[in-house]
Amino acid sequence: MTRQLPLFIRPQALSEAMGSHDVQIIAVDEPADFVRAHVPGALTLTMSSIMASQGATGGLLPDDNTLARILSDAGLRNDAQIVAYDRAGDGQAARLLYTLDAAAGHDRISLLDGGLAAWQAAGLPLEQGPPSAEPSDFRVTRQPDRIADREWIASRLDDDKTTILDVRSTAEFVGDDIRSARGGHVPGAVNLDWQHFKDDNGQLRPRAELEALLAEHDIRADREIAAYCQTHVRSSYVYLVLKYLGFGRVRGYPGAWSDWGNRDDTAIETGA
């Protein structure tokens, strides 16, 4: 039976679990960086391999066949608890875990809280060299109720049972920092920068603090939540946080602002 680990796992707890065949660790990393240093026994894939693009829109989910091939080539298994980490602030690993959860239907997932930096800070060993992956036959089952697209967002702009959560910086939200053809935000969206979910060490804040933060922004579990950023990397992290806190109806918006903000037929608001 597959071992169940917490959604956010600290380095020492992972170190104690990593000898189990049921646990697979995967680094979202560039090949040269992975070879130089990684968590012992980790598999790896690149961020670019799990994100598709269409014109100016980035951060889209690969199609089912492509995703199954990528995950299989990396050596991931359907019967494993998959623990992801990165060296870039947890967003890239979170995006892989969102993809596993929403696009592949694999919800036995964990994030190494704080990533490679936290592992090193805990004094745990590193390994060098390429991964020793055995190709698998990973099967994907898309979960539409975990995915929002442009049409879904547009149909719920005036729905008081839905919260559109923008986790970008305030400058992006108000339209001062423009990263697509147009700046601003989805009308009615709530802005809560994803960095507020982390403590000074870059790890997840205590549950009580997270719950107070969400309550302060009127983000409630009795509503459906759709989170977005620029290409659904930062918002993948927040997706996991909401799952961790027990929010039952959470979606991510792949493509995100690179989709919404690069069109001329989508409604946009600017300012606070």
Residues belonging to the active site = 229
**Is residue 14 helix, strand or coil?**
helix
Structure tokens at 102: 């929403």
25: nearest Cα among 133, 136, 114, 107: 133
| 165 phi and psi angles, rounded to 5 deg | -110, 115
Helix (H) or strand (E) holding 151: helix 150-154
DSSP for 45-57 reads E-TGGG-EEETTE
Q: How far lies 7's CA from each of 69, 109, 113, 150, in Å?
A: 25, 6, 9, 28
Pairing type for strands 52-54 and 57-60 reads: antiparallel
Place of tokens 């994030």: 111
Which DSSP string do the residues of 194-221 spell out, in sequence order? GGGGB-TTSSBPPHHHHHHHHHHTT--T
For 53, 145, 259, 271, the CA distances from 60, given in Å and listed in that order, are 6, 16, 9, 27
The residue among 92, 82, 95 whose CA lies nearest residue 42 is 82
